[in-house]
Structure 1
Amino acid sequence: MSNREKEQVIALSAVFQAAELVANLAKSGQVDQDYLQPLIESVLTLDAPTTEDIYGGQWDCQTNLAMGRRIARQALGKDRNSLNPNTLRYALSLVHLESKLAKQPDMLSLIGQRIQQIAAKQSHYDSVLHENMMAAISGLYQDSLSKLPFRIQVHGDSRYLQQAHIANQVRAILLAGVRGAMLWRQLGGKRWHLIFKRKALLAALEARN
């Protein structure tokens, strides 16, 4: 496994983790904060030496992106039929949405400026998952990505999706998923790789280091 492939599957795992968290949140109103935190922190990480560092350091199958790594292996492997179809749809939609964003330099500039502003406020709160932080990231999503012609439609239980704090979490996670998709593309990842480079990606996902 090359270092480039390792970095690619870290970014890909982030996309699938975001997709799975959105699917779970929309259905149950619950989200695993251990898996949510590295995604939200990745949005606010403006300067990191490696892809690994964006998601909390060591590429550890027990923490950080463990859920996304497992889901990505499932999606690319023989067990994909047991995957939540919404998770797969969201993951592919995040990759597609990012490809649209990449063609919008003004929107990218806006997102970069707003992320700097949000990151500067992080020290005021005890956690990046504080509801004010989540609301700020959600607002950024609404002011940018939600204005593109392609929108991700989230399906779930309306009792949960109509609650403001859950809607904020969903949008913040989607933004984190787009962040992962952007890294995936910047590292050379392409949508067709999910079909024609499946074996290589699976090998990288299954590697221990």
Structure 2
Amino acid sequence: MAYTNYDRTLAFAGLCQAIKLVQQIARDGRCDDEQLDACLRSILTVNADSTLAVYDNNEASLTLGLKAIVNDFDNSPTGAEMTRYAVSLLALAKKLTHRQDALSQLSDRLETITRQVEHYALIETQMLNNLADIYLDVISPIGPRIQVTGAPGQLQVPLVQHKVRSLLLAGIRSAILWQQVGGKRRHIVFGRKSMVEQAKTILARN
């Protein structure tokens, strides 16, 4: 993996896209199925030869996340919530990378999902349930628990819960990728401007 601003921007866009979809589902109970599918597929791409390959070699599949980098990291309530999710997922991903037992369990569980996806779509209810179970069994015990905010009525719906947990797992995938391509907290605090400019460049050609 390359340690460039382009690679960090792609990985952070993947993280932001997962967060945006979590926010939409937690609030409205639904999101765009194509964006959901693209996010979830990144979870299964574990031996990619480039950062973009994690996202199906398609910059346009990260449009929602790239727009979030440009528009949503500010002092507004929505921006503050996105930052909270991002910081929490990055911290959780860092803990995960130091837990060989959890990484081994995660790898085994994802191999099973990879076999299942030959027969079922990732956004089918049972597959979402399976991904959500991986998050509950492998990621949640590492802690701390991520507090999801939204409409209470929606958050009590099982399918909404499955989608949210599946997307948090996708967020962890992108957070680990961000770290693999050299992403540090300072890049969020001090390098945001260069990431915004890179995101704008990618959006302009898609």
TM over 0.5: yes
2:68 partner letter? I
Cα offset for 1:83?
Answer: 6.0
Does 2:93 align with 1:98?
Answer: yes
Q: Deviations over 1:32-85 (max 9, x none)?
A: 11211111001112332211121121323xxx1111101112245xxx234613
The aligned residue for residue 104 of structure 2 is 109
- How far apart, CA to CA, are the structure 2 residues paired with 1:87 and 1:26? 13
Q: Deviations over 1:3-27 (max 9, x none)?
A: 7221111110011111111111111
In structure 1, which of residues 133, 143, 147 is the aligned counterpart of residue 127 of structure 2? 133
- How far apart, CA to CA, are the structure 1 residues paired with 2:57 and 2:25? 26
> Structure 1: which 5+ runs fail to align?
none
**Which of 44-53 and 16-25 deviates more?**
44-53
The aligned residue for residue 66 of structure 1 is 63
1:14 partner letter? G
In structure 1, which of residues 162, 182, 205 is the aligned counterpart of residue 176 of structure 2? 182
TM-score calculated relative to the size of structure 1: 0.90
- How far apart, CA to CA, are the structure 2 residues paired with 1:179 and 1:111? 11
Runs of 4+ in 1 over 4 A off after TM superposition: none
- The correspondence of residues 1-209 of structure 1 with structure 2, limited to 5 A, is 4-60=4-60, 64-76=61-73, 80-82=74-76, 84=78, 85-125=80-120, 127-208=121-202
| Counterpart secondary structure, 2:123 | coil
What's the RMSD between the two structures over aligned residues? Answer: 1.7
* Percent identity of paired positions between Structure 1 and Structure 2: 32
**Which of 158-167 and 51-60 deviates more?**
51-60
| Counterpart secondary structure, 1:101 | helix
TM-score calculated relative to the size of structure 2: 0.91
> Structure 2: which 5+ runs fail to align?
none
The number of residues matched between the two structures is: 201
